[in-house]
Amino acid sequence: MKIDILTLFPGMFEGFLSHSIIKRAIETKKVEINIVNIREYSTLPHKSVDDYGFGGGAGMVLRVDVLYAAIEALRGKDTKVILMTPQGETFTQKKAENFKSLSHIILVCGHYEGFDERILHFVDAEISIGDFVLTGGEIPAMAVTDSIVRLLDGVILKESKENESFQSNLLDYPVYTKPKEFRGYKVPDVLLSGNHKEILKFRKQASLEKTILKRSDLLEGTEWIDGKESL
């Protein structure tokens, strides 16, 4: 997979790309990630990328012609162009699963007051990471990239992906490590029993209970809430 990230602040990605799982995925060629400065595609004086919005209002607006030039310079036959914007559809684990099968993604990071609305004619999707506003699209682009890359084959253990939160509409089961007891709080006995059948049963039940307690909305319309799923 190839991911191109269009941004006005490439330096923000230095730490993101040089540590942990993302770094290893790049080194093992599971993914190619390119950070591209939008200013490189400006033909305006001083590499300008924004201007005052027509009709007045606070803040500067990113120009459609500069953004279009940057996108088209990178776009290929099978490219999906995604605009990072608080007005987009909320990003979910399901979307990450869908995106991981793509061969090439361009993530466009906004800044300032936003994009010239006409850029929407030249992108494939608008994505938000939640109902709040940030200073730019760089942090959302990192979040989306991280969630996709970790799903690629060979990046992390298959078992880790199968048992984590949001699989089968459930949150992940609780996990424990040493010490076996800490300030009166003990690791559940079943996890120390060595009985793998009972451990699996405990984890399924705990996962369901945690989801009901913390995110019952995930169970609406599922077999879990209808009582059909067997534990």
pLDDT digits (tens, 9 = 90+) for 131-171: 999 999 999 999 999 999 999 999 998 776 666 556 678 89
Q: pLDDT exceeding 90 applies to what percent of the chain?
A: 84
CATH placement of domain 166-226:
1.10.1270.20
Residue 222 has pLDDT above 90, yes or no: no
What pLDDT sits at residue 158? 77
What pLDDT sits at residue 231? 47
**Minimal CA–CA distance to 106: which of 38, 185, 208?**
38
Residue 21 in contact with residue 149, Cβ under 8 Å? Answer: yes
What pLDDT sits at residue 177? 94
- Mean pLDDT over 107-117 rounds to 91
What pLDDT sits at residue 228? 46
What pLDDT sits at residue 162? 63
Residue 36 in contact with residue 5, Cβ under 8 Å? Answer: yes
Residue 138 in contact with residue 109, Cβ under 8 Å? Answer: yes
Residue 186 in contact with residue 131, Cβ under 8 Å? Answer: no
Residue 84 has pLDDT above 90, yes or no: yes
Q: How far is CA 40 from CA 92, 112, 136, 208, in A?
A: 32, 18, 18, 50
What pLDDT sits at residue 220? 87
Question: Is there a common fold for 2-149 and 166-226?
Answer: no
With bands split at pLDDT 50, 70 and 90, how would you rate the model's confidence at 178? very high
- Mean pLDDT over 109-132 rounds to 94
More confident residue, 73 or 159: 73
Residue 147 in contact with residue 122, Cβ under 8 Å? Answer: no
In the chain, where the domains are located? 2-149, 166-226
- Mean pLDDT over 38-62 rounds to 93
How far, rounded to the nearest angstrom, does the alpha carbon of residue 183 sit from its chain's CA centroid? 36
Residue 49 has pLDDT above 80, yes or no: yes
- Mean pLDDT over 62-70 rounds to 97
**Minimal CA–CA distance to 1: which of 91, 107, 89?**
107
CATH placement of domain 2-149:
3.40.1280.10
**Minimal CA–CA distance to 160: which of 152, 209, 17?**
152
What pLDDT sits at residue 164? 59
What pLDDT sits at residue 230? 44
What pLDDT sits at residue 142? 98
- Mean pLDDT over 204-217 rounds to 94
The Cα–Cα gap between 118 and 149 comes to 30
pTM: 0.87
